[in-house]
Structure 1
Amino acid sequence: MKTAIALNQENLGAMPSNVQTPSYDRDKVKTSIVHIGVGNFHRSHEAFYTNELMERYGILDCGICGVGLLDFDRKIYNILKDQDGLYTLVIKNLDGTRSAKVIGSIVEYIFAPENPIAVIEKMAHPDIKIISLTITEGGYNLNEATGEFDFSNPVIVEDMKNPMSPKTVFGYLAQAMKLRKQRGLAGCTIQSCDNIQGNGDVAKKALLNYVEKAEPELLAWIKENVSFPNAMVDRITPVTVASDIENLQEEFQVNDQWPVVCEPFIQWVVEDKFAAGRPEWEKVGAQFVTNVVPFENMKLRLLNAGHSVLGMLGALHGYKTIDEAAHDEDFSVFLKAFMDEEVTPILGDLGDIDLDQYKASLIKRFQNVYIKDIIPRICLESSAKIPIFLLPTIKAQLAGDGNIARAAFVVAAWCKYNDGTDENGNSYAIDDAMSNELIRAAALSHQTPIRFLEIEPIFGDMVDNKAFADAFLASLKMLRSKKVKDCVKEMNSKLA
């Protein structure tokens, strides 16, 4: 086997011919975007679109400066620093073929815990037009039930005491915007790329709530000079595993310490509301619209909720990856019926979108055996995901006396999931910010089943809705007495 070539700027010219590398001069790239949260999704999505714009059109004024806010980000910081910001994107097609492309759009990276002032100054630099975010659903620090900013969070308390040594995105943004105001600079766009309904609105609310208490004199300036476009983002991007690194070395002779693997499908629908201009991402496939809501609803309630359906059912059964669960005929029939009968009726007008084709494509994407999206990734932080992906469908259906049987069943499966063992007796960790409360409520539900729905930050007053509570209790009783596949078969037969 040929020796794999270490990925860095110096070695780009030596890469094999089957690896696409940047043809543009990275030394001429001008940074105008700061991105907070350089994980796999950012690198398969926004950074990919930006690289395509540079590669295909020679537009070089949209370079990205990545920022790692957390101690956890040290590993990716060290790797990107070692690789001159370069990484390999491996696209795994449905037919098993793979393509490898080196992405060069991240031209700077700052590790915030080592140099918080450098991050603030970078965000406040006049060249920066956009500050984009992938900080996960839980990163916006909003109570899931009330939607209010959580000022009791210890790191928020700390940021308000020590504003020039922030720990949270809100602390950094507040100080950067304060500098822009003091220096008479223009505002910028704060662009959420997270899977959240109204992600721009959520980012705006969280930041304004924080600023109102931490830097109240800054509030009016932000409202007037900063925009928060909503966006729908989509590309299945699993966790990178050791075999991905090994396969890249063997098939493409590239030694990349942290490549990204993803599916071929990609979508980005963005509200065209940018305070200081934006890259022409529409040239490379992004869609700019006046109203993102229909696209958001479609994606969050079908794709993301579909992931949660397969994740919860698959975890209980003992499957390890989403493609395994999606290839299970009983689970796929259940999922298709959930999408057709419970989600589709409440999506509203989707214009020219072929919804049947979109749903069919989702099943195929879930079944991509080459992606191997692990079920623990899908199930982690479910206390932030379920209220966004699944509960809105239940609430909309309840408002019209509609069908909630399958959605309620998934909530019951989530309750059982928090017991921490699958049906084969294998244990797994409950990786969730609310794990203590979830595990306790699930344990109490063995004696008092309704206890799980009494987790107020997640369910609010939904426990008081008799139709939902009854459907949940019936499903949980069934799941406590039978295997999940037997329950699903029964549901499929009864509801057909």
Structure 2
Amino acid sequence: MNAAIPSVWLHIGAGSFHRAHQAWYLHRLLQQGDNRWEIALSNIRDDAVPLLNTLAAQNGEYTLETVTPEGERQYEKITSIKTLVPWDEELKGLIKQGADPRTKVIAFTVTESGYYLDTDHKLDVQQPDIKADLNGEARTIYGALTRVLQARRVASGDPVTLLNCDNLRHNGERFRQGFLTFLKLRNEPTLLTWVEQNTTSPNTMVDRITPRPTSDIAPRVLAATGFEDQAPVMAEAFIQWVIEDDFAAGRPALENVGVELVDSVLPWEEAKIRILNASHSCIAWAGTLVGQDYIHQSTQTHEIKEMAWEYVTQDVIPSLMPSPLDLEAYRDVVLARFANPYIRDTNQRVAADGLSKIPGFITPTLMETFQRGAIPRATALLPALFFLFLQRWHTQDLPYAYQDGALDAEARHEMLSHSDALARFAADASLFGPLATRADFAALLERSVASLQSWAEHPQPVNE
């Protein structure tokens, strides 16, 4: 299976998740003797420069520690990242790598909020970063890819796959719609036509819980492997990747390492986003409100687990039926994964980006439950938890800094300062779409917040 010149999988987004997920799969191919593909890792912003420098000093190699719910740890040196693209303000290194004809796939993980979509899943042109990129900057995936693909079109014109690896419903389609809209607004007709004709954007579903690395990982890696790793990463043992098989310029033999290549990713995507991602956020917001630090602690708290279980059982499963998946079994596996005490995933990490998660993960279930003629009582608890969470943020009473790419702090503080803040929250179309004008939804949300308030004011015992 040797090839003289490997193809390049260029990845934008040098976070832990890529190194625990996509890089692991390509590493497994190398372990099988298939060295036809390698990764070039890059970033749009300068926040990953220390990591990229550290990885460059280790020849791109690092250790992945995985842990099962029973506490069994395994260590594997990941070797699939062969190029660390140095960051510079003009993104010259990224542009050069993206224009290289060896690069056949450009993949990215920029978080849900990094696509700047409104509740209709259209590009939100009012966002400051989008405005800046429409004026020629490259703060976002759209501005960066405009520069990369412009150079590629001129250099070789070779087709390339643009692969979204974020937790975004219909992620390939919605990224592509946002990108084509961006190119139209940038008045780039030649590039727009080239992108339409020479790129594909398959939908994908990715899954592996990957907490932010903590200082205790490196000593375990050293003790277990003898490698003094300066950039280890840790994840749960579970992993899944489902991709629509629509690549413009070839792909790695991912089916040989457990990736599911399908015609439509929709059933897996909907189950994962609504059952796993939304429940994860529910648990993180609830756990934070009652003074807990970690996801496993909160999942092991009866009232919090019950909220997540009821949300899935009462509202999500009826919304997703019929499904080729055993949704009840999936629910139970997800909650067991969240309860893994060895992951030590923080409520802070999972609670982030709520302003994108509400419309992306939760509002569809609210709407579909109403459409069935039912009342989404269980689902309404999730935005109610987030409202109480935002109130704590507003009064500077959160135990950590809240991170949200869609947060306009000044406007949100102003909203929360009013006596009718909950009514304004319920009427926010960017969060709730058509439900924002419905009196029955506002009343349901008010009842949900009232039912949670006294509970949320009492700290809960934690299990370490």
Which TM class, normalised by the smaller chain length? Answer: over 0.9
* 1:125-170 residue CA offsets vs partner (Å, 9 max, x unmatched): 1111100010111111222x2433233444444444446xx33322
Q: 2 CA distance for matches of 1:429 and 1:448?
A: 22
- Distance apart, 1:115 and its partner CA: 5.6
Structure-2 residue corresponding to 1:317: 290
Aligned residues: 457
Q: 2 CA distance for matches of 1:226 and 1:286?
A: 22
Structure-2 residue corresponding to 1:275: 248
Q: 2 CA distance for matches of 1:362 and 1:148?
A: 30
Over 3 Å counting, the alpha-carbon distance change for 1:487 and 1:251 in structure 2 is closer
- Distance apart, 1:274 and its partner CA: 0.6
* 1:372-406 residue CA offsets vs partner (Å, 9 max, x unmatched): 11001011111111211111111111111224112
CA RMSD across the alignment = 2.5
Q: Is the 8 A contact 1:306 1:335 kept in 2?
A: yes
Give aligned-pair identity as a percent: 30
Aligned to 1:483, what secondary structure does the other structure show?
A: helix
Task: Look up the equivalent residue of 2:223 and give its one-letter code.
Answer: E
Quick check: 1:148 aligned with 2:148? Answer: no
Of 10, 24, 27, 1:51 maps to: 27
- Superposed counterparts of 1:470-481, under 5 Å: 470-480=443-453
Q: Is the 8 A contact 2:426 2:441 kept in 1?
A: no
Task: Look up the equivalent residue of 2:122 and give its one-letter code.
Answer: E
Structure-2 residue corresponding to 1:61: 36
Structure-1 residue corresponding to 2:338: 366
Q: 1 CA distance for matches of 2:426 and 2:265?
A: 31
Structure-1 residue corresponding to 2:144: 172
Structure-1 residue corresponding to 2:390: 418
Structure-1 residue corresponding to 2:209: 236
Q: 1 CA distance for matches of 2:135 and 2:457?
A: 52
- Relative to structure 2, which stretch is displaced further, 367-376 or 110-119? 110-119
Structure-2 residue corresponding to 1:74: 49
Task: Look up the equivalent residue of 1:138 and give its one-letter code.
Answer: S
TM-score, normalization: structure 2? 0.92
Over 3 Å counting, the alpha-carbon distance change for 1:363 and 1:456 in structure 2 is same
Q: 2 CA distance for matches of 1:115 and 1:51?
A: 30
Q: 2 CA distance for matches of 1:422 and 1:251?
A: 44
- Distance apart, 1:447 and its partner CA: 4.1
Q: 1 CA distance for matches of 2:77 and 2:421?
A: 54
Aligned to 1:254, what secondary structure does the other structure show?
A: coil
Of 431, 434, 451, 2:424 maps to: 451
- Distance apart, 1:318 and its partner CA: 0.8
* Deviating 4+ runs (over 6 angstroms): 485-488
- Distance apart, 1:311 and its partner CA: 0.8
- Distance apart, 1:242 and its partner CA: 1.0
Structure-2 residue corresponding to 1:285: 258
Over 3 Å counting, the alpha-carbon distance change for 1:418 and 1:124 in structure 2 is same
Over 3 Å counting, the alpha-carbon distance change for 1:449 and 1:154 in structure 2 is closer
Unaligned residue ranges in structure 1 (runs of 5+):
1-23, 489-496
Over 3 Å counting, the alpha-carbon distance change for 1:142 and 1:449 in structure 2 is closer
* 1:427-482 residue CA offsets vs partner (Å, 9 max, x unmatched): 433322315234443343x54531212333222332222332111011122333x1
Q: Is the 8 A contact 1:40 1:237 kept in 2?
A: yes
Task: Look up the equivalent residue of 1:418 and give its one-letter code.
Answer: L
- Relative to structure 2, which stretch is displaced further, 379-388 or 298-307? 379-388
Q: Is the 8 A contact 1:94 1:370 kept in 2?
A: yes
Q: Is the 8 A contact 1:31 1:65 kept in 2?
A: no
Structure-2 residue corresponding to 1:442: 416
- Distance apart, 1:356 and its partner CA: 2.3
Quick check: 1:308 aligned with 2:284? Answer: no
Q: Is the 8 A contact 1:92 1:371 kept in 2?
A: yes
- Relative to structure 2, which stretch is displaced further, 334-343 or 249-258? 249-258
* 1:89-133 residue CA offsets vs partner (Å, 9 max, x unmatched): 000111112111010101001133256223112111111110001
